[in-house]
Structure 1
Amino acid sequence: MFDIIRHKTASSKADLLSGLTVALALVPEAVAFAFVAGVEPMVGLYAAFIMGLITALIGGRPGMISGATGAMAVVMVALVAEHGVAYLFAAVVLAGILQVSFGLLKLGKFIRIVPYPVMIGFVNGLAIVIFLAQLGQFKVPDINGVLTWLPQDQLALMIGLVALTMGIIHFLPKLTTAIPSSLVAIVTVTLMVVFLELDTRTVLDFLKSMSGDENATIAGSLPSFSIPAVAFNLETLYIILPYSLILAAVGLIESLLTLTVIDEMTNTRGKGNKECIGQGVGNITSGFFGAMGGCAMIGQSMININSGGRGRLSGVTAALTLLGFILFGSAMIEMIPLAALVGVMFMVVLGTFEWASFKVMRKVPKHDAFVIVLVTVVTVFTDLAFAVFVGVIVSALVFAWEHAKHINVEITEDANGWKVYKLNGPLFFGSAADFLELFHNNTDPDDVIVDFQNSRVCDHSALDAIDTLAERYVASGKKLHLRHLSNDCKRLLHKAGDLVEVNLIEDPHYKIGDDKLD
């Protein structure tokens, strides 16, 4: 997966230049997500700076970029519309506290339960989402506020500049990798537009169209500390808690999955629990400094990695450069053509989408191919967290169904004439019903042995099935002997009573997951 990497080693120079490139691409994204959330552009820009800086310094994945994201913005919009931006800041603080708690409890490891097909669907879905988001740059609002395509001549020019940007990014590394090709492409296209006076939309035009304010600008001051202006009582907690829970979950899922993708790209290992803490501290700080918070951004992270950014310096550079743009360089950034930034993001799409999945889906089991397509589609039409949840649930159900079919018995007779059922395969909720159908208590002899040596009793449903089987044989006036059960199983079996044969030498010592043992 992801063979588009052009830089294999880390260096301070690469980190500095890649950080600068990322900062240029962060501006329109932060502004756009701020409008999605229903807040001022500066709220999104501050979030990109704060999240980017803090997660770069203390997060668990060097080289990964965080900032304001669309996945969290769509959750925020309802809270802002109904209760105001102050409640948003309070909700972001609470979400951050939940994320820090998640990290301190070392729960980041649970990202490992996400199956590989879900990961492929995740990156494919995000690639499509990024692509569709860029199409909005080719449209402008008409007099009624409805987005329409640019006039034909402007549309053709923008497409040409996008193609030029993509061409530079693709071919320049064949000549030199001393400077990130994305940065060269942005600077080249910007200079061409300025000196040739080409009529194409810029970052400033985008900001004006989004805000409807002809005096709009990204110029601003340093973010200032402020406690969210909300009442600190149970009523406020009742309002913000549902949003905070969703924001914390969405932020961690997107961040940890992005961390996993970057791990695979760089053949390194990030620290999930540390990243949870970094994301949480970033969101807590955002809430107290008038920012909308955020999480990891796979698009900007891909730009950073492909531009050579590997260390924490790349993320710190991106954040501080963005702050520099806000404080001192707004005029310079506002003149950048949107076409250049769109071209960069289109290259991100090409690098993010797992093209090999088309070939893989013809070779993997049909249910895995279905999960890939399902997660991709759900990501595009709903949101990332829900898509991953659906993918994991479907994968788990398929796993249970497949393993439920593997249970069977070998029937023999011992020297005493007792009938022996030697069980093979896992016994759990999915196979419990089939397990009971393997036995014939009405026709079996007076003494029957069930041997669990080649089986694994997995959950309480399995225990209940064994209890039920024992009850059936007792009701028929027969003796059921259960061999090779773990000590945990023996303690939890009620109806079997003293029918369980104790064999301390041969019986397994595995633990069974059951609430009664906690």
Structure 2
Amino acid sequence: MFADQSSLKFSEIKTNVLSGLTVALAMVPEAIAFALIAHVSPLTGLYAAVLVSLITSVFGGRPGMISGAAGALAVVMVALVVQYGVQYLFATIILMGLLQILFAVAKLGKFIRMVPHPVMLGFVNGLAIVIFLAQFNHFKTIQADGSYGWMSGAPLYIMLGLIAITMAIIYLLPRLTRAIPSTLAAIIVVSTSVIYLGLDTKTVGDLGSIAGGLPTFHFPEVPWTLETLYIIFPYALILAAVGLIETLLTLNLIDEMTETRGRPNREAMAQGMANVVTAFFGGMGGCAMIGQSMININNGALKRLSGIATSLFLLSFILFASRWIEMIPLAALIGVMFVVAEKTFEWGTLNLFGKVPKQDVFVGLLVGGVTIIADLAIAVIAGVIVSALVFAWEHAKQLKVYTEKDKNGMTVHQLHGTLFFASIANFQALFNPASDDAQVVIDFKHAKVMDHSALMAIDSLAAKYRAVGKSLHLRHLSPDCQELLESAKAIIEVNLLEDPTYRVSDDKLA
């Protein structure tokens, strides 16, 4: 478990610890904001960040990935908390964690590798835009008439100036030195300048106090009945799905960036454990956070130590340093997240228009758009379904037939491609029993029969030839096909040396 920590060099320790500090600073406003979205206290979000980050970093399958309270989960929690209260939320998070553990036990994490690349691009770009747009909430403030509106005048100019300075430091400092993460340096410089110059600008403290003690164990105060299960199960299922999808897609993204391979089932298990534990200690649950993970990876922190350090720094902020952390200007953290959004967005996708199939472009835009306006889980599921349908449609169009005469003068139709549910209509259109010769062979040597729909299509075609008094012969079908065909079974030519042995998807073989 700790193999990646056993031989850390001093430079690696420094990189991972300093990156952990940077990530912790960036997580504070996020955790508070997501807690407020979910209608729970700031500490509920911060405790989730502490515990989920710690447990997933120690036991997870992707060193360097950062987990904590996430906005994608918070928006699902709102209705539950408003209607039933925070104690039902804690019970829901426990069930959410148990569902994620079951997912890991069933070893279903491998299926995340089947997510098409256009879906991944849409996911990444959609979340980058979500991260960018989310920062604009900090540009709102209470107006003189008591209403809530956009900043203007000096406060706005100060905020924009500080954001620009933050971003400039992040982009330019690496050209001078990499002794300290540029994001951390930017936060320190801007925060020090604001405090020293006495600038009036929004700070972390304006979101809410982060002062508190150690999280304490408590059992959710809900009636443990079937009625409660009926209430919380739908929310737990959605939260478990959203959390796993965001986590495993982030894991895939980090795998590609670092050219390493994470362990999705182990990560799912760790996330489930983390959510169960955090619910018993007053946390709102969580999953991987792509923004904070990108900060960590871009800092070169690829060890478990970075996530552990993030958790410990967050806890120290709550216990000892809340007064100082609350003085950090939001502009510095907004600047950091703007850079994260810029670096997360796959700008190369803009060059793909006109160079890749239109359906791939559509899928990427669909996933990105749904991620922005609706829900991550819905976006990814929709993208996978559309990709599968597009693949089936394109694959179905590849079914071809080539006709020739054999040495005995019989007409032989050589079928090329895959016969399955989506290609049935094309298959039926390839043959005209009424105008065909009296003796006809369909050769499946260069084709595959994949499912029950394909078998029914062959049976139906055989019946059509029989109805017009024609003789049809079927060659090179696998033993599965020979066993499952019904009306066409009598016209199959068996060649033990040449017949293929592939399997057919059909419940009759179960």
TM-score when normalising by structure 1: 0.94
1:321 and 1:145 mapped to 2: Cα distance?
Answer: 36
Q: CA deviation at 1:371?
A: 1.4
2:224 and 2:144 mapped to 1: Cα distance?
Answer: 44
Q: CA deviation at 1:10?
A: 7.9
Alignment of 1:478-489 (within 5 A): 478-489=470-481
Q: CA deviation at 1:350?
A: 0.8
1:291 and 1:491 mapped to 2: Cα distance?
Answer: 57
Whether the 8 Å contact between 1:10 and 1:310 is mirrored in structure 2 is: no
Q: Match of 2:422?
A: 430
Q: CA deviation at 1:489?
A: 1.8
2:88 and 2:277 mapped to 1: Cα distance?
Answer: 15
1:337 and 1:508 mapped to 2: Cα distance?
Answer: 69
Q: Match of 1:309?
A: 301
Alignment of 1:347-426 (within 5 A): 347-426=339-418
Q: Which amino acid aligns with 2:444?
A: F
- Does residue 229 of structure 2 align to residue 237 of structure 1? yes
1:336 to 317, 328, 333: 328
1:96 and 1:279 mapped to 2: Cα distance?
Answer: 7
Q: Match of 1:214?
A: none
2:219 to 207, 221, 227: 227
Q: CA deviation at 1:513?
A: 2.2
Q: Deviations over 1:272-292 (max 9, x none)?
A: 111111111111112211111
Deviates more, 1:336-345 or 1:443-452: 443-452
Matched residues, number: 501
1:307 and 1:375 mapped to 2: Cα distance?
Answer: 28
Deviates more, 1:255-264 or 1:442-451: 442-451
Q: Match of 2:206?
A: 205
Whether the 8 Å contact between 1:180 and 1:308 is mirrored in structure 2 is: no
Whether the 8 Å contact between 1:425 and 1:456 is mirrored in structure 2 is: yes
Q: Deviations over 1:370-409 (max 9, x none)?
A: 1111111111100111111111111111111111211110
Q: CA deviation at 1:87?
A: 1.3
- Does residue 126 of structure 2 align to residue 118 of structure 1? no
Whether the 8 Å contact between 2:162 and 2:332 is mirrored in structure 1 is: yes
- Does residue 104 of structure 2 align to residue 103 of structure 1? yes
Q: CA deviation at 1:117?
A: 0.9
Q: Match of 1:174?
A: 175
Whether the 8 Å contact between 2:97 and 2:273 is mirrored in structure 1 is: yes
Q: Match of 2:284?
A: 292
Instruction: Give SS of 2:401's match.
Output: strand
Q: Which amino acid aligns with 1:195?
A: Y
Deviates more, 1:133-142 or 1:178-187: 133-142
1:458 and 1:193 mapped to 2: Cα distance?
Answer: 67
Q: Deviations over 1:288-308 (max 9, x none)?
A: 111110100000000111122
Whether the 8 Å contact between 2:32 and 2:207 is mirrored in structure 1 is: no
Instruction: Give SS of 1:356's match.
Output: helix
Q: Deviations over 1:304-324 (max 9, x none)?
A: 111221100000000111011
Pick closer, same or farther for the CA change 1:144–1:124 going to 2, 3 Å: farther
Alignment of 1:415-494 (within 5 A): 415-494=407-486
Deviates more, 1:478-487 or 1:184-193: 478-487
Q: CA deviation at 1:249?
A: 0.6
Whether the 8 Å contact between 1:76 and 1:88 is mirrored in structure 2 is: yes
Whether the 8 Å contact between 1:419 and 1:448 is mirrored in structure 2 is: yes
Q: CA deviation at 1:86?
A: 1.3
Q: Match of 2:6?
A: none
Q: Match of 2:250?
A: 258
Q: Deviations over 1:45-75 (max 9, x none)?
A: 1111111001101111000000111111111
Instruction: Give SS of 2:444's match.
Output: strand
Q: Match of 1:211?
A: none
1:471 and 1:241 mapped to 2: Cα distance?
Answer: 50
Q: CA deviation at 1:476?
A: 2.8
Q: Match of 2:5?
A: none
Whether the 8 Å contact between 1:60 and 1:275 is mirrored in structure 2 is: yes
Runs of at least 5 residues in structure 2 that lack an aligned partner in the other structure = 1-9
1:109 and 1:268 mapped to 2: Cα distance?
Answer: 15
Q: Which amino acid aligns with 1:84?
A: G
Pick closer, same or farther for the CA change 1:476–1:143 going to 2, 3 Å: farther
Q: CA deviation at 1:147?
A: 3.1
Instruction: Give SS of 2:493's match.
Output: coil
Pick closer, same or farther for the CA change 1:313–1:467 going to 2, 3 Å: same
Q: Match of 1:5?
A: none
Deviates more, 1:380-389 or 1:469-478: 469-478
Q: Match of 1:189?
A: 190
Pick closer, same or farther for the CA change 1:446–1:30 going to 2, 3 Å: same
Whether the 8 Å contact between 2:275 and 2:286 is mirrored in structure 1 is: yes
Q: How well do the aligned residues superpose, as a CA RMSD in angstroms?
A: 1.5
2:500 and 2:358 mapped to 1: Cα distance?
Answer: 36
Whether the 8 Å contact between 1:115 and 1:395 is mirrored in structure 2 is: yes
Q: Match of 2:266?
A: 274
Instruction: Give SS of 1:431's match.
Output: helix
Alignment of 1:29-68 (within 5 A): 29-68=30-69
Q: Match of 2:7?
A: none
1:460 and 1:261 mapped to 2: Cα distance?
Answer: 37
Q: CA deviation at 1:458?
A: 2.0
Q: Deviations over 1:417-459 (max 9, x none)?
A: 3221100111111111110111121222333211111112222
1:238 and 1:505 mapped to 2: Cα distance?
Answer: 58
Q: Which amino acid aligns with 1:319?
A: S
Q: Which amino acid aligns with 1:47?
A: A
Q: CA deviation at 1:506?
A: 1.1
Q: Match of 1:130?
A: 131
Q: CA deviation at 1:344?
A: 0.4
Q: Which amino acid aligns with 1:67?
A: G
2:150 and 2:326 mapped to 1: Cα distance?
Answer: 22
Instruction: Give SS of 1:480's match.
Output: strand
Pick closer, same or farther for the CA change 1:474–1:141 going to 2, 3 Å: farther
